[in-house]
Amino acid sequence: MNMKIGIGLMFLTLICVKTNAQEIVTAEQSNPVEMGWMQGFPPPKDKVISAIDGSFFRFPALRYSVCHMRQFLPTTVVNAAATNQYELQVKLDPNIDAITFLPWNSEKTMTWKESLLRNYTDGILILHKGKIIYEKYFGELKPDGVHAAMSVSKTFTGTLGALLIEEGLLDENKTGTNYIPELKNSAFGDATIRQILDMTTGLKYSEDYSDPNAEIWAFSAAGNPFPKPSSYDGPTNYYDYLVTVQKEGEHGEVFGYKTINTDVMGWIISRTTGKSLSELLSERIWKPLGTHVDGYFQVDGAGIAFAGGGFSANMRDMALFGEMIRKNGKFNKQQILPSRVVADIRNGGNREAFNQSIYGTSLKNWSYRNMWWITHNEHGAFAARGVHGQTIYIDPLAEMVLVRFASHPQAKNARIDPTSLPAYHAIAKYLISK
């Protein structure tokens, strides 16, 4: 095996292991509790999963791992609030499960309840006007547990970046080099903060996991926290890799969803504030929200947080974040984010640049702003999204916040959206009609 690929395969967060058709089983069949992963003292050998061999991120073992990432990789804590914790009120709506919708490209309706198993849901929570009207847990996820947020992590990084712009600590028209001189000879050197936040950078970087020569493997090898072989001579942490990224095309023309934009943004945030991403997120957002459970970021061998996909958090705490955004930054008796930051997110990004991307067909007329996905639908809905089915979906018109954690065998949201996005919209329409 190519050494670069071998190292990359050991690092969990960026591995999207292709699942053979015969390995795909239903949500019920792949329930991690029923499968007995990591149970016993010690667990049976055939029930042990590991980061070293990559088994922890292969389906169906993935369904256990997403709730236990700290067992597999080093992490840094995002401290929750010790005081002034926010208590959500609960008023469950018994009608939600029976709500029907029409999946994309289908002639047969599906119920909300059916969609949960179809999408391998681990946990789902719906707030309406700030109250919990629906909450379910499956498999390994428990009410006091945490779950990998995958690329929903990007939204936290992007929101912090937008906050620093509003506060004048960052200038969206200045380039990466202005804040990180080491980026001068990289593709990020002449990319503006705005282009990085909205992912309209021109980068020679592929996240095609089927291509053994794709740049994603070098990035994952650099971020691999385990000891590297003596023959390895590549970058040894995320930042080392980012300075090597080369330019391809022009900045500002086309949306290109590439994780390294978020990781360079995380570097810029930390260099500007003098604080790690986990410290700043805890100080400016996580504690003020009144969260109950510590979150955590996976880190590389140099202790650098994986800004683009390494955050794990509690589902109710994620709902607090979504509700704060829905309420224009004001929550728990304080203005956590300036309302102008939220307004900028909701206004969206460059739709033309988005429509020219590979997402322009399936998510036509959407846009991307501050690492949020903006639908521009009739409700003004917008979302944080992550592979395998993670989301925070906010529908302002319906006064709804929806959080879903999942462990779908297929990583790409394109496989999951047809039975998710129309389902969310159906719930929103129901809530408006009440």
pLDDT of residue 319: 99
Does 128 have pLDDT greater than 60? yes
Q: Determine if the pTM surpasses 0.75.
A: yes
43 within domain boundaries: yes
Q: Is pLDDT at 11 greater than 70 in this prediction?
A: no
Helix, strand, coil percentages, rounded to 5, for the chain: 35, 15, 50
Q: Average the pLDDT over 150-172 and give the result.
A: 98
At 36 the pLDDT is 95
Domain membership flag for residue 212: no
If we measure between CA atoms, which residue out of 331, 314, 313 comes closest to residue 323?
A: 331
pLDDT band for position 4 (cuts 50, 70, 90): very low
Residue 127: the pLDDT is: 99
Inside any domain, residue 340? no
Question: Does some domain include residue 47?
Answer: yes
Closest CA to 197 of 146, 161, 245: 161
Percent of the chain with pLDDT over 90: 90
Asked if pLDDT for residue 22 goes beyond 60, the answer is no
Q: Is position 244 within any domain?
A: no
Number of domains making up the chain: 1
Q: If you average pLDDT over residues 170-184, what whole number do you get?
A: 98
For residue 189, the tally of other CB atoms under 10 A from its CB is 18
Judge whether 147 and 313 are in contact, CB under 8 Å: yes
Mean pLDDT of 334-339: 98
Q: Is 388 left (phi over 0), alpha (psi -120 to 50) or beta?
A: left
Q: What is the mean pLDDT of residues 191-198?
A: 98
Q: In 42-128, which residue ranges form alpha helices assigned H by DSSP?
A: 62-65, 112-118
What pLDDT, in 10s, does the model give residues 238-287?
Answer: 999 999 999 999 999 999 999 999 999 999 999 999 999 999 999 999 99
How many other C-beta atoms can be found within 10 angstroms of the C-beta atom of residue 47? 15
Percent of the chain whose pLDDT exceeds 70: 94
Instruction: Flag whether 186 is in a domain.
Output: no
Q: What is the pLDDT of residue 15?
A: 40
Q: What is the pLDDT of residue 230?
A: 92
pLDDT value at 324 more than 80:
yes
Taking only the tens place, the pLDDT of each residue in 203-212 is 999 988 778 8
Residue 53 pLDDT:
84
Please give the average per-residue pLDDT across 381-400, as a whole number.
Answer: 98
Residue 24: its pLDDT value, please? 67
Looking at residue 208, what is its pLDDT?
82
Q: Which domain holds residue 20?
A: 3-76
pLDDT band at 142 (very low <50, low <70, confident <90, very high): very high
Region for 368 from its dihedrals, namely left if φ exceeds 0, alpha if ψ lies in -120 to 50, beta otherwise: beta
Is 121 part of any domain? Answer: no
Residue 52 pLDDT class (50, 70, 90 cuts): confident
Residue 125 is assigned to a structural domain of this protein = no
Strand order in the sheet with 311-313: 75-78, 295-298, 311-313, 147-148
Q: C-alpha distances in angstroms, 394 versus 125, 134, 284, 388?
A: 12, 15, 21, 19
- Pick the residue with more confidence: 23 or 56? 56
Burial state string for 80-92 with b = 16 or more CB within 10 A and e = fewer than 16: bbeeebbebeeee
The per-residue pLDDT for 10 is 42
Average pLDDT value for the chain: 94
User: pLDDT tens for residues 79-112?
Assistant: 999 999 999 999 999 999 999 999 999 999 999 9
Q: Which of 140-154, 217-231, 390-404 has the lowest mean pLDDT?
A: 217-231
pLDDT digits (tens, 9 = 90+) for 278-321: 999 999 999 999 999 999 999 999 999 999 999 999 999 999 99
pLDDT at 199 over 70: yes
> Average of pLDDT values for 51-64?
90
Looking at residue 147, what is its pLDDT? 98
